[in-house]
Amino acid sequence: MSFGDRVLAGLKTILLIEERTKTLDEVLKSLKSKVEGSLADHEKRLTRLETIVEITRPDGGVLRIAAPTDK
């Protein structure tokens, strides 16, 4: 294998790695947006569940919807 062939093979390898990196970047961006959306949905659901638990306390405790304030 001549020097020129090795240089061309190296350039082809670099191009292949660059294409794979771009593809991986696009996939990760898509995954990031899905995860961020899911986290926001879970946070809203958790807030609703906490509110329901506070409203329906079986011990007859005080109804508390707002977050507690530290004194």
Question: Tens of pLDDT along 11-55?
Answer: 999 999 999 999 999 999 999 988 888 888 888 888 777 777 666
Report whether pLDDT(71) > 70. no
Q: Is the dihedral of CA 33, 38, 44, 50 positive or negative?
A: negative
pTM above 0.85, yes or no: no
Q: How far apart are alpha carbons 61 and 25 in whole angstroms?
A: 51
Report whether pLDDT(61) > 70. no
Residue entry with tokens 């991986």 = 24
